[in-house]
Structure 1
């Protein structure tokens, strides 16, 4: 595999914590410590377009595919719903005084992971809070939804992954997954496996059909794994780490294919916080160094 850096996007004044795709395949959104939500064109790194500014850092950004509205999770304040076409805030919800770490959509619901251990379930159309799920006193960090098994998984800072029923929201299973905080989780594209990672730098694969039995445990990075994400064609897996590197894995065998770092690829100089695949051969990475890199894989 050949990986080359083809562009760098700069302009944020603070670390970048979130990337999100757009309805248009040649555009994407970013935000982070400066509270600025920026829309970028992949072919014009010099043309960042400010969509919104909120007065606190943002860890969670999510596009509602049903209506094209962008949800911005402002720490300690709540949700801002932005129309990216009009660049206006169309609604807001003072959901919490906690930090917001993740937002995921399923049908008309949004699932919001909060630093006080709550997962808030919000009606995405009416923007009203339907339910609070409090299963831990420590942060809910990452959410993954499995429509096949009608479950959703939540990774927490108490080292545990909890599985909930997607319809009744009942707690179904508790997995003592890691030796430290769980930062990122994702179901495989076929929903047969749940992947988890976090501060202990291990990547773990759990077999969903075997009651989440541990299938594989990989010492994947030197320091915390901040994000993991599958490519759109389901063939590759990418992990981003506090060790400043990105690693590309075979999504079937979990064999390491490539290490993308500063020494070999002019990669990031500090923690890599978020990844976004724009197509099967193009990966974006966002960092504490306030830049977004565009990587071509061939």
Structure 2
């Protein structure tokens, strides 16, 4: 459908998965078959099917709470509160490695595919870079005196943004991990980062409930939006259409125009009569963008259909 036909786009509740016994912090977007994973404070990674709208299995137990999940090709990376991460091979259906990566919890993960490297960010204030060939540590960057909460890699994989609890965003060159810029416009910690799919801007969300838009070349601040009532925990661009969604501690999801930042839709119990009852920690679009998945502290995994 054309962008114009989506100007009145709606997010309609489609299904709620239950089964988690504790808050859910981590979510991996569905693959082409609609398979996705969640994890959190109940020490297990759960596999779900969008196609069947069904629970599939508890993929594996983990030793401590999971704060982040990252999928790279056929390997699922599981970041834990303990500071360790595990690699689950989806073809072999087995854990192939477990790395004691940090002294404190891991909050973010990303891959730089062209360099075949994995990045992990931690409450210990560092970012570690790992080889995806043998999972050996290559470098360790001392980014902040406090938590490095989130990571965003630019679409051309030339730059990497790190969001920190001290309210600063650190931009690094991906080739040599040299510092390019430090961005300070938020008044509280950074909790979410995302590059526009074209790379023309970086958008950040913080505990100050603000969205900040930064030029993708100069990193000068362009726009500031009082987007939510409380912290913004996730920002995800639609895979096809010029939209992005934000998820917040205020228990709402908001759908925005990615060109002019117009607010199109608020998904919340107050607005729709159905929604999350606690903080929303993660959101993800289905592979074709027809569905949105959300999860959070209320232990629920909810599915929303994008309809004109």
Q: TM-score, normalised by structure 2?
A: 0.93
Any conservation in 1 of the 2:118–2:132 contact (CA below 8 Å)? yes
- Mapped partners of 1:17, 1:238: distance in 2: 17
Aligned length: 295
| 1:109-258 superposed matches below 5 A | 109-148=117-156, 150-209=158-217, 211-258=218-265
Q: CA deviation at 1:25?
A: 3.0
- Mapped partners of 2:239, 2:301: distance in 1: 20
**Which residue matches 2:24?**
16
**Which residue matches 1:294?**
303
**Which residue matches 1:81?**
87
Counterpart selection for 1:32 from 34, 40, 43:
40
Any conservation in 1 of the 2:164–2:189 contact (CA below 8 Å)? yes
Q: CA deviation at 1:147?
A: 4.8
Task: Report whether the alignment pairs 1:95 with 2:95.
Answer: no
What is the aligned-residue RMSD (CA, Å)? Answer: 1.3
Any conservation in 2 of the 1:22–1:63 contact (CA below 8 Å)? no
Q: CA deviation at 1:90?
A: 1.0
Q: CA deviation at 1:79?
A: 1.2
- Mapped partners of 1:12, 1:83: distance in 2: 23
Task: Report whether the alignment pairs 1:69 with 2:75.
Answer: yes
Q: Against the structure 1 CA distance between its residues 147 and 188, is the aligned structure 2 distance closer, same or farther, given a 3 Å change threshold?
A: closer
- Mapped partners of 1:148, 1:127: distance in 2: 23
Q: CA deviation at 1:135?
A: 1.9
- Mapped partners of 1:281, 1:147: distance in 2: 22
Q: Quick check: which one's strand share is greater? A: 1
SS at match of 1:253: coil
Q: Against the structure 1 CA distance between its residues 22 and 84, is the aligned structure 2 distance closer, same or farther, given a 3 Å change threshold?
A: farther
- Mapped partners of 1:130, 1:218: distance in 2: 38
- Mapped partners of 2:41, 2:26: distance in 1: 10
1:134-156 Cα deviation digits (max 9, x unpaired): 02111001111125371111000
**Which residue matches 1:281?**
290
SS at match of 2:224: strand
Counterpart selection for 1:104 from 95, 100, 110:
110
* Structure 1 unmatched runs, 5+: none
- Mapped partners of 1:149, 1:129: distance in 2: 20
Any conservation in 2 of the 1:51–1:88 contact (CA below 8 Å)? no
- Mapped partners of 2:93, 2:273: distance in 1: 35
Any conservation in 2 of the 1:51–1:84 contact (CA below 8 Å)? no
1:72-96 Cα deviation digits (max 9, x unpaired): 0111141100123443211111111
**Which residue matches 2:6?**
none
* Structure 2 unmatched runs, 5+: 1-8
- Mapped partners of 1:147, 1:45: distance in 2: 31
